[in-house]
Chains A and B, each alone.
Chain A
Amino acid sequence: DSGVTQTPKHLITATGQRVTLRCSPRSGDLSVYWYQQSLDQGLQFLIQYYNGEERAKGNILERFSAQQFPDLHSELNLSSLELGDSALYFCASSLQGSQETQYFGPGTRLLVL
């Protein structure tokens, strides 16, 4: 158990819909990272937040947005969903920044029908 929690574990929705994925980092960790992993593909870095502020941006679509709240939990919002958005979405956290070990949550498996 990494100490990072993600909800929900599974999500099934339809094209065009909007969903919100939630992540609670390990106690004391200030950075949160979001990743997308499609079937048999590598990890695609989406975005990083540090203590409530956006720190780094990867290959995140404009239809996707995220935020980190004062209690340090984070949400990833996916809108106008397409079939290709079906993937495993991981959240990870680290104490400070990206030069430190990341601890990954169990992931949210999203299926868009």
Chain B
Amino acid sequence: GQNIDQPTEMTATEGAIVQINCTYQTSGFNGLFWYQQHAGEAPTFLSYNVLDGLEEKGRFSSFLSRSKGYSYLLLKELQMKDSASYLCCGTDSNYQLIWGAGTKLIIKP
């Protein structure tokens, strides 16, 4: 079956670095998205990877390995406002969206 797995919750310290992992099993693959969602708010786009490698965008980077069915989101210089849920979403060969349950990131001072 098609599946996206990510940790339920992670805790990190302000100013530190955190890596949120996502593994996927899909029939075919056409890219992987990361979205950020603050509690009670709408998700907002962070990154999209379709080729292997690291995409850097300011404090946030996203990595993809198609052969391993694996992605991660790297957040550097953590700020309190980064406390949110991070959603991993893959697209299969038919461009169907498969969403992970989200990782709740808690930042402590």
A and B found bound together: yes
Residues of chain A touching chain B, judged by Cβ–Cβ distance below 8 Å, are 2, 33, 41-45, 48, 56, 58, 88, 90, 92, 97-99, 101-107
The residue on A at minimum CB distance from B100 is A42
Which 8 pairs from chain A and chain B are nearest by CB? A42-B101, A104-B42, A98-B95, A101-B45, A42-B102, A98-B97, A43-B99, A104-B43
Q: Is the interface of B mostly helix, strand, loop or mixed?
A: loop
CA distance A11 to B97 in the complex (A): 28
Within B61-109, which residues are at the interface with A (CB < 8 Å)? 87, 91, 95-97, 99-102
Known: A42-B87, A43-B87, A107-B42. A101 touches B99 (CB 8 A): no
Residues in chain A near residue B33, CB distance under 8 A: 101-102
Total A-B pairs, Cβ < 8 A: 50
Answer whether residue B30 sits at the interface, using C-beta atoms and an 8 A cutoff.
yes
Q: Which residues of B contact A (CB under 8 A)?
A: 30-31, 33, 40-45, 48, 50, 87, 91, 95-97, 99-102
Q: Is the pair A101, B97 in contact by a Cβ cutoff of 8 Å? A: no
- On chain A, the residues within 8 Å of B31 by CB distance are 99
A-B contact sample (14 more), CB < 8 A, given A43-B43, A103-B45: A2-B44, A33-B97, A42-B100, A42-B101, A42-B102, A43-B87, A48-B97, A56-B96, A56-B97, A99-B31, A101-B45, A102-B45, A104-B43, A107-B41
Asked whether A90 lies within 8 Å of B100 as measured between CB atoms, the reply is no
Q: A99 vs B94: C-alpha distance in the bound complex, in angstroms?
A: 10
A99 to chain B, nearest CB (A): 5
Chain A residues with Cβ under 8 A from B45's Cβ?
101-103
Mind listing 27 A-B residue pairs with CB under 8 Å? A2-B42, A2-B44, A33-B97, A41-B101, A42-B87, A42-B100, A42-B102, A43-B99, A48-B97, A56-B95, A56-B96, A56-B97, A88-B40, A90-B42, A90-B43, A92-B43, A97-B95, A98-B91, A99-B30, A99-B95, A101-B48, A102-B33, A102-B43, A102-B45, A106-B42, A107-B41, A107-B42
